[in-house]
Chain A
């Protein structure tokens, strides 16, 4: 069955420290993976998709098929990065979301 696992409910880091939000998936096909973000009092929105291989707001995510992972990384966290982050797997026009990780960046 399709599944997305985000093992950390809460990740707390200091401003300027590196950030890595973990995401592992279970899927027998070729995965389409995304990261969505929900800032305080804002809507859930797409942050990045693996196919684009781009950096958004300093975040990158690399698909590792061997480890079935799609971790989200940023070298230097900023306070405005504080939000809820969801990893998502798409199949058949549906998204399966992980449980989400709250990122708190402390000053």
Chain B
């Protein structure tokens, strides 16, 4: 298994443009997480899905951000319109099962987003 796959790896766009980030979780995993990493705030959970259903989106910054998981093998995070303050590394992670001390999240390589 190639692990969690994210695309694109790098994205440079101009303010106001729509940005779509993509994630393919590890096959068989039923939970998927989107995180944002910045120097100032570290890793922040944006949203997570369980069995393709959004469970908690309280970390989504504002209405400009939206996420979907149409099936068990694909998820998107969309920013529309993008702003310079959205520049960050966005990580997708997946896990199998529910909470507990043996739960482990597996992370993708991240998408580095730069909004000019």
Where the two chains meet, the residues of A that have a C-beta atom closer than 8 Å to any C-beta of B are 6, 32, 43-46, 49-51, 86, 90-100
Contact = CB atoms under 8 A, between A and B. Distances in A.
Contact of B3 (A32, A43, A95): A43
B43 A97 contact: yes
Nearest to B91: A44
Contacts of A95: 33, 45, 105
Contact of A43 (B50, B102, B109): B109
Given A44-B91, A100-B43, A92 B108 contact: no
Contacts of B56: 92, 94
Contact of B99 (A86, A90, A100): A90
A94 B49 CA distance: 10
Interface of B: 3-4, 31, 33, 35, 41-45, 48, 50, 55-56, 91, 93, 95, 98-110
Contacts of A32: 99-101, 103
Contacts of B4: 43
24 contacts: A32-B100, A43-B3, A43-B4, A43-B108, A44-B43, A44-B93, A45-B106, A51-B101, A86-B43, A90-B99, A90-B100, A90-B101, A90-B103, A92-B99, A93-B31, A93-B55, A93-B95, A93-B99, A95-B45, A97-B35, A97-B42, A97-B44, A99-B42, A100-B42
Given A43-B108, A94-B48, A51 B41 contact: no
